[in-house]
Amino acid sequence: MRKIIVPVGYMGSGSSAITDLVREFKDVNNEYGTFEYVFLHCPDGLFDLEDKLLIGNNALRGDEALHSFLNRMKELYDKKYWWVGDYQKKIGPKFYERSCEFVKELTNYETSLYWYMQERVNFSMFVKLVFRRVIKLITFNKVILDRPLRYPKMLLSYPSASEFYTLAKKYVNDCLAMFDSSNDIVLDQLLLPHNLFRVDNYFDDNLKVIVVERDPRDVFLSNKYVWTLDNEAVPYSCNVEEFCDQFRRIREIEKPTDSKKVLKVQFEDLIYNYEETLKKIIKFLGYENREHENKQKYFNPEVSIKNTQLFKNKKYAKETKYIEEHLKKYLYNFPKK
């Protein structure tokens, strides 16, 4: 069974290093590089659907959940110029069709009744409502047209946890099977650290998630003084106090997992303890040393080391000290030499 390798990070923590490292192994498919596959964890994605149907469901909520999920999958499928989209090409031409089938499998009842989510007025509906009103007036209430709705039927769903996970796991496996390759595949950011507690409900043992952590001092300084200069959208505040609060809160809301499908590594260990960390990754992936055919071709620690210990520059001393005082538990113990 081919492996699904998922590099994961905490926004700017260096998970692309894993993407590059894994590319060096024999028979690993990384066709789209660092393209981020978000259909599981994006707003109205599969995990949102899980929460709505299994935690926040009620008599009508399933209708919104299923329609919102389907609308988002349609956007990911056919929006070619949305940088996280174009799944018709990036996953397969039957991705949306399979998503529709999945929604149908989850639907317990269809009804022509309607509720307020269908009655949200847009421009097209407004025109129809005006026309409906005019017809009603000029016929003295003898002709009353149907009320315009955003969609014609409600989809009601009340699955048990077992039912949902059985269908969802098959849906995920079917989507992953659409990748036209028999080799192990790398799917960048298919998951995020904050939803790794879910993985055993959705994946078999061929899933291999590698989470990359990084010293917050270098994350902040790269964020403020490197990425912003390249006009990149930065993930954290450039105010050091706000950064520390945001960084801490993001890490503290993470729900831990002990799944054997997940390995955590430190970005700095990939550089300063390269051989030891490499052995750990090879063992986790179930590879052999001989399969590492292009060692250091894409990830070279001698190059990446330039992106570490930026905080040693004295002009950053004040901000560095603040981070060291407020995010002490997340600091990396760099070698003295």
What are the tens digits of pLDDT across the range 166-203?
999 999 999 999 998 789 999 999 999 999 999 999 99
Mean of the per-residue pLDDT values of the chain: 92
Q: What pLDDT shows up at residue 226?
A: 86
The pLDDT, as a whole number, for residue 119 is: 80
Q: What does the pLDDT read at residue 36? A: 93
Question: In the predicted model, is pLDDT for residue 264 greater than 90?
Answer: yes
pLDDT for residue 141 is more than 90: no
Q: Residue 41's pLDDT is what? A: 97
Q: Which pLDDT value is given to residue 148?
A: 67
Q: Is residue 114, in this structure, part of any structural domain at all? A: no
57 DSSP 8-state letter: -
Position 151 scores a pLDDT of 82
Give the pLDDT mean for 252-262. Answer: 95
Distance (Å, whole) CA 231 – CA 18: 24
Mind listing the pLDDT tens digit for each residue in 208-247? 999 999 999 999 999 999 887 766 777 889 999 999 999 9
Domain assignment of residue 1, given as a range = 1-31+187-337
Which of 76 and 115 is assigned the larger pLDDT?
A: 76
Residue 22 placed within a domain: yes
Percent of the chain surpassing pLDDT 70: 94
300 lies in a domain?
Answer: yes
- How many domains, in total, are found in the chain? 1
DSSP one-letter code for 143: -
Q: How far apart are CA 20 and CA 26, in angstroms?
A: 13
Q: Evaluate if residue 273 carries a pLDDT over 80.
A: yes
Rg (CA), the chain: 24
**CATH code at position 12:** 3.40.50.300
Residue 131 pLDDT level (bands cut at 50, 70, 90): low
Is the pLDDT reported for residue 126 higher than 70?
no
In a domain, 268, yes or no: yes
pTM of the model: 0.90
Residue 256 lies in a domain: yes
Q: How far apart are the first and last CA of the chain?
A: 43
- Who wins on pLDDT, 257 or 137? 257
> CB-hemisphere CA count at 13 Å for 162?
0
In a domain, 213, yes or no: yes
Is 270 domain-assigned? yes
Residue 161 pLDDT more than 70? Answer: yes
8 A C-beta contact, residue 24 and residue 274: no
pLDDT over 90 for what percent of the chain? Answer: 77
Read off the pLDDT of each residue in 79-106 and give the average, rounded to a whole number: 96
Mean pLDDT, residues 69-79 = 97
Model pLDDT, residue 114: 81
Is residue 101 one of the residues assigned to a domain? no
Yes or no: say if 85 and 76 are a contact pair by the CB < 8 Å rule. yes
Q: Are 268 and 17 in contact (CB under 8 A)?
A: no
Is the pLDDT confidence value at 268 over 90? yes
pLDDT class for 145, splitting at 50, 70, 90? low
125 pLDDT band (50/70/90 cuts)? low
